[in-house]
Structure 1
Amino acid sequence: MSWHTGRLVGFDLETTGVDVEADRIVTACIVGCGDGQPVTPRIWLADPGIDIPAEATAVHGISTEQARANGRPAAEVVEDIVHALAEAVTDGTPIVVMNAPYDLTLLDREARRYGVTPLADLVGDELRVIDPRVMDKAVDPYRPGRRRLTDLCAHYGLRLDAAHTADADALAACRVAWVLAERWPQLRGTALDQLHAVQRQWAAQQAASYAGYLARTPGREHEAATVRPEWPLVPHQSRRTA
């Protein structure tokens, strides 16, 4: 049986911004799907403890006032998310995360911020991640166009309602992963352990290619040094300092 025909757990965050070292979780979803079982979403709304910039609210629809009025304390939310993911990992279920280094690194930093044991420390080498963005770029590298989740859904003929809400995006990532495996034999024919390892190699190659592109682009040369090759998250000890 291929990994994609069993149970999958999708994970997505909506946040206060795009800096994994400084920004905070606003909403999160962990959704179980597949294997002939019902879809089981768990959704969290957090009070991030800081103002939510208008630019972020425009993306996910949650304002500072809404988060303060209805959100749970961020530390509680982070602990819940980490434990829910750890439970899935312990069960042997792959975690599907679109652009995993963003969500998993930000979750790691949030856990450390609030004194919660990070997921990587809880599960160690048992974590198995499926990243549709990495896989799509690996199997179809020369296709033109962007590769955001909305782009992949459009390309593969998948419906995505309420994009940029954590629950919709988490489930959509699982659907993209399933379609990729159905379409590309090298994905569905690779055992989960090996697929996790090869995605790390693909991600590093893709990062090197993008850094090279930036280095050759006038006015963007300085951005090349900010491209990180680590996958599925940037280890805390690798954080760069000014």
Structure 2
Amino acid sequence: MKLNLKNPIVFFDLETTGTNINTDRIVEICYLKVYPNGNEESKTMRINPEMHIPEASSAIHGIFDADVVGCPTFKEVAKNIARDIEGCDLAGFNSNRFDIPVLAEEFLRAGVDIDMTKRKFVDVQVIFHKMEQRTLSAAYKFYCEKNLEDAHTAEADTRATYEVLKAQLDRYSELQNDIAFLAEYSSYTKNVDFAGRMVYDDNGIEVFNFGKYKGMSVAEVLRKDPGYYSWILNSDFTLNTKAVLTKIRLREMSNLITK
């Protein structure tokens, strides 16, 4: 089924040095840009992560230190990538939990300010898990009746994710061919930050999603325990989490001044 698009949508996949969204880095990125008229543009690039690629990670995606020698760093290509995805919704496989947080961290490290708050995020894995409970290779076989060749290369995984989403729309009549619907359906929680350390509750209030203040209003915690803000800023949380928390804190301080 052809996607019903109001905006271009970028399907993307990352290969990385590991699975820690705070500290691991991108070694390969592929993105497939699909326009509302059905036209497609794709790009794949190797990235020098400026750190050693652990052997365990290389065993999965086949990219070793020697393969990224001479490749650009993310900082060197960040503005081009930001320009390519400007005004686009985003889609991936496990992207809400991993690829989008990692990409956001890389942009922040590179000093590139990219606003993702107005974008829709479609996570094809979440749709798959809600419907069938399997992996990308199994999803590709199940929905597209083809074997996924070159699994764990960014380009193959990106293309497979796009094809799986179209096949899901063909298979499930309850899925609406609408990116806003798919973004809502493919999200388990309404995250405030990409790592999900803060989420919106049923009333649209930002609440902490971890630790001793789980379920409590972020604004209320910042008022009652100002030291909690400093603790988060000095602890091992993502740059995005810290930036979002700072934005909330500044907003609340401004509200107090204007009252």
Determine the structure 2 residue equivalent to 1:80.
Answer: 80
Pairing of 1:133-144 with structure 2 (within 5 A): 133-140=125-132
1:114 maps onto 2:110 in alignment: yes
CA shift in 2, pair 1:197/1:234, >3 Å: farther
Contact kept? 1:138, 1:202, Cα under 8 Å: no
Q: Which runs of 5+ in 2 are unaligned?
A: 192-209, 212-237, 245-259
For the residues of structure 2 that align with 1:173 and 1:196, how far apart are their CA atoms? 15
Amino acid at match of 1:110: E
Task: Describe how 1:77-226 pairs up with structure 2 within 5 A.
Answer: 77-87=77-87, 89=88, 94-100=89-95, 101-117=97-113, 119=114, 122-124=115-117, 126-140=118-132, 147-156=134-143, 157-188=145-176, 191-201=178-188
Mapped contact 2:2–2:166 kept (Cα < 8 A): no
TM-score, structure 1 normalization: 0.70
In the TM superposition, residue 17 of structure 1 has moved relative to its aligned partner by 0.6
Q: Distance in 2 between matches of 1:181 and 1:139?
A: 12
Write out per-residue CA displacement over residues 26-60 of structure 1, whole angstroms, 9 at most, x where no aligned residue.
01011134867454211111111001111111222
Q: Which runs of no fewer than 5 residues in structure 1 stay unpaired?
A: 205-223, 226-232
State the partner residue of 1:229.
Answer: none
Cα deviation, residue 130, structure 1: 1.8
Q: Which SS does the other structure have where 1:154 is aligned? A: helix
Q: Which residue of 2 aligns with 1:214?
A: none
- Secondary structure of the residue aligned to 1:47 is coil
Distance in structure 1 (CA, Å) of the matches to 2:176 and 2:152: 28
- Once the two structures are TM-superposed, the CA of residue 16 in structure 1 deviates from its matched residue by 0.5
Tell me if structure 2 keeps the 8 A contact 1:5–1:34. Answer: no
Whole-angstrom CA distance in 1 between matches of 2:34 and 2:110: 30
Letter matched to residue 241 of structure 2: H
Q: Secondary structure at the match of 2:45?
A: strand
Pair 1:35–1:84, CA change in 2 (3 A): closer
Pairs aligned (count): 197
**Hey, what's the Cα distance between the residues in 1 that align with 2:240 and 2:44?**
26
Counterpart position of 2:59: 58
Q: TM-score, with normalisation over the residues of structure 2?
A: 0.66
Q: Equivalent residue of 2:47, what SS?
A: strand
SS, match of residue 31 in structure 1 = strand
Q: Which runs of 4+ in 1 moved over 6 A?
A: none
Partners of 2:176 and 2:45 in 1: CA distance: 32
Larger Rg: 2
Considering Cα pairs closer than 8 Å and 6+ residues apart, tell me whether 1 or 2 has the greater RCO: 1
Separation (CA, whole Å) in 2 of partners of 1:165 and 1:139: 25
Which structure dedicates a bigger proportion of its chain to helix? 1
Distance 1:149 1:65 in 2: 28
Aligned-pair CA distance for 1:199: 2.6
